[in-house]
Amino acid sequence: MRFYAVLVYLFLYVPIGIIVLFSFNAGRHASEFQGFSTKWFGIALSNPFVMEALKTSLIISGITAVLSSIMGTMAALGLQNARGMPRMIFDSLIYIAIMIPGIVFGIATLVALATALDFINPLIKTLWPVFLGEAPRLRLGLISITGAHTLWTTALATVIIRARIQGMDRSLIEASLDLYATPWRTFYQVTLPQIFPGILAAALLNFTLSFDDFIIAFFVAGGRTTLPIYVFSSIRRGVTPEINAIATMMLIISLTLLFTTQWLLRKKR
């Protein structure tokens, strides 16, 4: 079994290691290692298209992490007090949202947004005052990607934060209420400090998922280009050491956030 486990891990990580290795290639060909160099990292960071795509991905990921953590916290606190059939139904919906394939989620989100825009844009045009000029037209772009990623990651944030809530000391909450603290003050001074590591871990994990996502963003991006979409568009013309360097930097960011998330999930307060 150990031998098969080693084979599985080699199958998973050797291709990733090759990409990291060839990102330090001094030559121009991605498949021929011609010496050690970090020049392709500088070339990638000086590419305006890469930096614009990186900026877009960071904005989307940051907003997604904040919104999904807030909504996930509210959902986790609300479900904690639910009992019976309502809790079972909402639990099932949360896990179904996590298990739905990304391509299905992307197509469903695209259809929903296209239908909504077909209804909203004519309505805005009808109600828009004439003296203000031409009515604005809503399109797919930054907001649609952020909304889709937020919906996608909120379910995962709810699961992570609920696990933290179940492990906290509820006697402190009861003591706070016995001392005539308001529900809001109890949440701010007692509940929030206990579940904050879970909230932060969910935010970091959702930031990583949003930053790395290609499938959902590809369907709802409109004219916007995130970093994964840029990489996909570039490799259709051939893999270069610059693409390897971009992939290595994305890998480092993702692993850093994932290890931080794991540390926060295990942290005891």
38 lies in a domain? no
* pLDDT on residue 265: 65
What is the structure's pLDDT at 150? 92
Percentage of residues of the chain with pLDDT beyond 70:
97
Residue located via tokens 């933290």: 164
Give the pLDDT band (50/70/90) at residue 194.
Answer: confident
Mean pLDDT of 137-150: 88
**pLDDT value at position 30?**
65
In a domain, residue 25? The reply is no
The model's confidence at residue 37, banded by pLDDT at 50, 70 and 90, is confident
For 195-232, what is each residue's pLDDT tens digit?
A: 888 888 888 889 988 988 888 999 998 888 888 888 88
Q: What is the mean pLDDT of residues 105-122?
A: 88
Residue 172 belongs to some domain of the structure: yes
Evaluate whether residue 105 is within a structural domain: yes
Q: At 126, which CATH number? A: 1.10.3720.10
Q: Is residue 236 predicted with pLDDT exceeding 80?
A: no
pTM recorded for the entire structure = 0.81
Query: Residues 77-86: what's their mean pLDDT?
Result: 78
User: pLDDT at position 146, please?
Assistant: 92
Q: What is the mean pLDDT of the chain?
A: 83
Residue 32 lies in a domain: no
In a domain, 41, yes or no: no
Burial-class residue 254 by CB neighbours within 10 Å (0-12, 13-18, 19+): middle
What span, in angstroms and rounded, lies between the C-alpha atoms of 148 and 91?
20
Burial class of residue 259, CB neighbours in 10 A (0-12, 13-18, 19+): exposed
Mean pLDDT of 90-108: 85
Res. 170 pLDDT band, cuts 50 70 90: confident
Q: Which domain holds residue 70?
A: 49-266
Flag whether 145 is in a domain. yes
In whole angstroms, what is the distance from residue 162 CA to residue 112 CA?
29
SS3 at position 89: helix
Burial state string for 113-146 with b = 16 or more CB within 10 A and e = fewer than 16: beeebeeeeeeeeeeeeeeeeeeeeeebebbbbb
Q: Give the 3-state secondary structure of residue 36.
A: strand
* Within-domain flag for 82: yes
Predicted confidence (pLDDT) at residue 268 exceeds the cutoff of 60: no
Residue 161 has pLDDT above 90, yes or no: no
Residue 267 has pLDDT above 80, yes or no: no
The confidence score (pLDDT) of residue 16 equals 83
Q: Which of 229, 230, 235 is nearest to 214 (CA)?
A: 229
In terms of Cβ atoms closer than 10 Å to its own Cβ (0-12, 13-18, 19+), residue 36 is: exposed
Number of domains in the chain: 1
By the 8 A CB rule, do 189 and 78 touch? no
Q: Indicate if the pLDDT at residue 55 is higher than 60.
A: yes
